[in-house]
Amino acid sequence: MPKTLHINGQSLTIPDVVAVAQHDAPVTLAKEAHQRVVESHAWVQSIVRKGKPVYGINTGFGIFSETQISDDQTLNLNRNLIISHALGTGPDLPPEVVRAAMLIRANTLAAGYSGARPAILENLIAMLNAGLTPVIPSQGSLGSSGDLAPLAHLALVLSTDEAETEEESGWALYEGRRLRGKAAMQAAGIPRIILGPKEALAITNGATFSAALAGLSINLAERLLNSAEVAVSMSLEAMLGASAAFDERLHEARRQEGQQVVAQRIRALTAGSTLLDAEGRVQDVYSLRCAPQVQGPARETLEFVKDIITKEINAATDNPLLFGPQDSISGGNFHGQPVGMAMDFLKIALSEVAAISERRSYLLADGKMNAGLPPMLVGDPASAGVHSGMMLAQYTAASLVLENQGLANPDSVRSLPTSAGKEDHNANAMTAARHAWELAHNCAHVLAIELHSAARALDLRLQRRPDANMGAGTRLAHQRIRATAPFKSEDSLWGPEIEAVRELLLNGELDFPAF
């Protein structure tokens, strides 16, 4: 069983998010965080008793921020915020994304600046531990004022009021069934909560689903970049490539750290290969020769983005924030610009990794450029035409790369005003994060096509050079691919084989970080 995660609002990591979202690691609230939450809730109660207008506690929201709300309408204020804001649309988010968002929101509240009762956090944690996942539409958030619509859908399941209809409890997945939120919570034995002052905002205010998508995309991107180095190493050997382009001195002279890391890993993965330099070529095409110069910047971008998102998943992001019984500060920590810009950077990086991978798949299949391999990597050159080989695999890769080029266009530079102009600059962070998630999965498929093609090219090459040796890392990668998808001489249903290689990649079985 995965190790229990103790959240405290300060030290959540992306691997923690992955452990809970994808591997169902149990969660608890750290004792020191519980005490901070109790204290901040007491501050809210003090503000309510004094009656001074404080945004989000006893006022309306957005354009109605100057409208003070009487004590007897506070419960209605909070419930109405949830009901009116649950306006998401589009396909449902994957359960792992929703679980990641629930964890991040609980961690945000655990920082002790939000004023919510401990019961709110305890419910979120109980839902995670029970495997109860609200159904959340993927579209409808601008990522400013937080991911309002997605978080409101989450709050429908978490909270209740006396006049609630069945429809107003939302939907949830529990024990393999899609149920009304009320029924799912009853089945799991988790009490739903009537929200008090500030608590609706505490749940919904923050770019939490954007951050969840970002964290999971970063985790996937690490595997993609490691696997991309395996892919280029296999393609380089299959193409009898020139090793000089990866000489340590060459990359030290450029002074770019990511480039140096990629070149070093290619050297390690191909160590012991007798296929490299076998043709005596001085230099190769860019997609082989310049892989460190293209994939290296992607590594540096990933490290930059990872730092931003690690800070974000430990950030207090709602509004206002409470720093004492009379110290409530209204600001804009909910604004998702840091997440949106970071995801735009990641999209560009991964789009280029996929683009150069597709060029290598094309190269392997081109009978005029693949150093004597059969055209389209057909098993027998005499059967070319009867068999199409890997022709359509490259088509698919090209299609995904073209789609990525659209997805890589920056979303965070686009803004439209909302709330009658009160919210006049929005981040579009959720769209950026959602596009990064889609693009990363497209990149995984493009890399799987290259890995599958390179494995086939190596098989065909070794048939012609039976005494040749692959490198230490490329041999291991080839073995893992062939254990899942054995070599077939004639045309086959390649799609399921490539999907199987993609699953190996997604599961981390082809990233070889130790090399």
The verdict on whether 334 is a catalytic residue reads: yes
d(CA 39, CA 34): 9
Helix axes 257-269, 291-312, angle to 10 degrees: 120
End-to-end CA distance of the chain: 28
Select which of 8, 205, 226, 428 is catalytic. 205
The verdict on whether 153 is a catalytic residue reads: no
Select which of 113, 334, 345, 362 is catalytic. 334
At residue 84, what are phi and psi to the nearest 5 degrees? -75, -25
Select which of 41, 79, 85, 299 is catalytic. 85
Prior bond of 320 cis (ω within 30°): yes
The verdict on whether 85 is a catalytic residue reads: yes
Other C-beta atoms lying within 10 Å of the C-beta of residue 68: 14
Task: Kindly list the distances between the CA atom of residue 16 and the CA atoms of 64, 229, 306, 421, in Å, as whole numbers in the listed order.
Answer: 38, 26, 13, 38
Helix axes 494-506, 472-484, angle to 10 degrees: 130
DSSP letter for 71, please.
G
Structure tokens at 436: 């990064």
Q: Which amino acid is at 209?
A: F
The verdict on whether 226 is a catalytic residue reads: no
Select which of 312, 423, 450, 497 is catalytic. 423
Select which of 178, 286, 395, 464 is catalytic. 286
At a CB cut-off of 8 Å and minimum separation 6, what does 325 contact?
42, 43, 46, 47
The verdict on whether 205 is a catalytic residue reads: yes
d(CA 329, CA 322): 6
- Residue 315, CB-side half-sphere exposure with 13 Å CA sphere: 24
- Residue 465, CB-side half-sphere exposure with 13 Å CA sphere: 19
DSSP letter for 318, please.
S
DSSP letter for 232, please.
H
Select which of 8, 36, 41, 55 is catalytic. 55
Q: Which amino acid is at 278?
A: A
At a CB cut-off of 8 Å and minimum separation 6, what does 72 contact?
none
Select which of 6, 34, 281, 289 is catalytic. 289
For residue 515, the SS3 value is coil
Q: Report, as residue numbers or ranges, the catalytic residues.
A: 55, 85, 205, 286, 289, 334, 423
